[in-house]
Amino acid sequence: MKFTKLTSSVLAGATLLSILAPTATFAATSTTGSNDAASNDNGGTKLPQTDKTVAGISFGDNSDNGNTGYLRLQMVPHTLDFGNHKLLDDTKLDFTADGKNTSLPTNNLKASYEGGKTNETVILNTKDKDLSKVEGTAWATVVDKQVTRKDSQSNTANPNNTTDPTSDFYEGTTSKAGSWTLSVKSVDALTAMDNADPSKPTSETITGAKLSFDNTQYGQTQQVAELTKDTQDATYTSDLAKVTPAPTPAAVSSINSSFSTPLAVGGTDIKVAEAKDGEGQGANVFGWAPSNIKLTMPAGAEVTNAIYKANLTWTLSSTVA
């Protein structure tokens, strides 16, 4: 019996040792040798090796037009999509930028003029409470940071210049918000595109088409960088905090609630909004529900199976004398 107990104890110990004892190893490429220029065990790129993956998703229109400055036109509706339709009914000539033929829903073929199921009129996504009125609209933005304008002379040639913060700027320039106008005009007539290359216009044009913007909405925010996501706006909040006395933002008082323009070559500027002296500090957003942007075709117009396009130019100009 004693022998049996001893045998059991030895076997148990042997089993335990077999688990803990190292087994034979087979060397792969060593990290040290891979980094050693003399040996270069890997015969190529040293270890450890790395590479990157980018996972992306986007929402809305976030394209940068490249404008810079204390006062700039930051965004306009880049696409107004009036949809794809079966035909042009001479009694139902109104189309809206959500891709619909007003009063004739049976004529709506596809939501996008390019034949897709998704309408390409982009709307604003924002959680800024100050912009609640323009959320969900096709929008244009004017950024006015003129109150933070810095006088280079006060920092270099004339460090003691505190009485005139814009002494080295052109006469009439101030460190106040406002004194600007936003306008829009037609560039050309509604023109059929080449079906083989939709970026190329043909000689076919439609005379008498009209574009209308109704029920203009307006929002003003001091959260400029949060809206634009532009690095040039990153210091706006801190720059504004240095302005003394602290300016009080005033809304743009002159806004055109409804306006329209014929789609024709060399159109006339139509005023969208005008900020008077002291108005418009921060980001000013003007928006239109897609259903309030209307393309009216002329009666008797003849259309073919084609994409028709027209272009607009938006202009931000200073009204300083």
Instruction: For residue 3, tell me if it sits in a domain.
Output: no
Instruction: For residue 56, tell me if it sits in a domain.
Output: no
Please name which of 183, 203, 206 lies closest in space to residue 267, comparing C-alpha atoms. 183
- Under the banding of pLDDT at 50, 70 and 90, the label for residue 165 is low
Instruction: For residue 100, tell me if it sits in a domain.
Output: yes
Instruction: State the residue range of the domain holding 186.
Output: 71-318
Instruction: For residue 13, tell me if it sits in a domain.
Output: no
Please count the structural domains in the chain: 1
Instruction: For residue 39, tell me if it sits in a domain.
Output: no
Average pLDDT across the chain, whole number: 88
With 60 as the cut, is the pLDDT of residue 297 above it? yes
Measured CA to CA, the distance from residue 100 to residue 93 in angstroms comes to: 11
pTM, two decimals, is 0.83
Instruction: For residue 52, tell me if it sits in a domain.
Output: no
Average pLDDT of 227-243?
96
With 90 as the cut, is the pLDDT of residue 21 above it? no
CA quadruple 148, 150, 151, 157: dihedral sign: positive
Measured CA to CA, the distance from residue 290 to residue 298 in angstroms comes to: 21
Instruction: For residue 59, tell me if it sits in a domain.
Output: no
Instruction: For residue 114, tell me if it sits in a domain.
Output: yes
Would you state the pLDDT for residue 135? 98
Would you state the pLDDT for residue 12? 41
Please name which of 131, 136, 187, 132 lies closest in space to residue 309, comparing C-alpha atoms. 187
Asked if residues 250 and 281 have their Cβ atoms less than 8 Å apart, the reply is yes
**Least confident piece of the model among 59-63, 89-93, 95-99:** 59-63
